[in-house]
Amino acid sequence: MSLACPWAHRTLIMRELKGLQDAITVNVVHWHMKKEGWHFDPSDDDDATADKILGKSHIREVYFKDDPDYKGRFTVPVLYDKREKKIVNNESSEIIRMLNSEFNGFSGEKAAAAADYYPEELRKRIDEVNSWVYEYERVLQFFSYCRGFFFLIATSTTASTRAALRRRKRPTRRL
Ligand SMILES: N[C@@H](CCC(=O)N[C@@H](CS)C(=O)NCC(=O)O)C(=O)O
């Protein structure tokens, strides 16, 4: 799980709502996703933990342990079965549905176990909102890449213009 990831966040919220804090432990990656992807480093981030299940340094190693031929993205959240030593699911919308109904026997609170956050009559609407959020996030991501690209061009153009002006202003050295 990453505290920087909104998709991971909703699984954490559902874990609380369903009283599953004791049944499902949480390992938190470092807030900064680097070139090798999410990594565990509690020494540099007070909120991060080590990988207390497999002792891995990166999330990608957890994926490869599960499937050495894995070709997808190394995303969080990941629901992991400690006993079977297998990834159960890495899709937050499915994980929250699982937490809603499949772990009721492990909940620490009766009322939390009984609470249903995916009632039959609202499922269609909830699924629609979920798809809409995914689409919207993709569009936002596209615009934020564009913004980053134009920012880069603008700053590098400004920087090179400034450098050129500085060069022009520089007095010619006479020997
Ligand atoms: N469909 C996934 C998406 C999760 C996702 O995109 N997580 C991001 C962080 S917010 C991630 O781990 N990205 C790592 C990568 O793309 O390498 C879900 O909702 O669980």
Residue showing tokens 């134009």: 150
Stronger pLDDT, 136 or 12, i.e. the higher one: 12
CB atoms within 10 A of CB 3: 16
CB atoms within 10 A of CB 162: 10
- How does residue 22 score in pLDDT terms, banded at 50, 70 and 90? very high
Residues of the chain above pLDDT 70, percent: 86
Atom number of ligand 1 nearest to Cα 90: 20
Atom number of ligand 1 nearest to Cα 95: 20
Average pLDDT over residues 96-118: 97
Q: How far is CA 36 from the centre of its chain?
A: 14
Give residue limits of the domains in the chain: 6-118, 119-175
Average pLDDT along the chain: 90
pLDDT of residue 164: 73
pLDDT of residue 135: 86
Q: How far is CA 83 from the centre of its chain?
A: 24
6-118 architecture in CATH? 3-Layer(aba) Sandwich (3.40)
Q: Do 81 and 60 touch, CB atoms closer than 8 A?
A: no
Whole-number Å distance, alpha carbon 8 to ligand 1 midpoint, is 8
Whole-number Å distance, alpha carbon 34 to ligand 1 midpoint, is 14
pLDDT of residue 152: 66
**Helix, strand or coil, per DSSP, at residue 96:** helix
pLDDT of residue 45: 95
Q: Is the pLDDT of residue 11 over 60?
A: yes
Whole-number Å distance, alpha carbon 110 to ligand 1 midpoint, is 32
| Pocket-testing residue among 5, 61, 135, ligand 1, by greatest number of atoms within 8 A of Cβ | 5
Q: Is the pLDDT of residue 115 over 80?
A: yes
Q: Read off the pLDDT of residues 130-160 as tens digits, 9 standing for 90 and up.
A: 999 888 877 777 776 677 667 666 666 677 7
Q: What is the pTM of this model?
A: 0.82
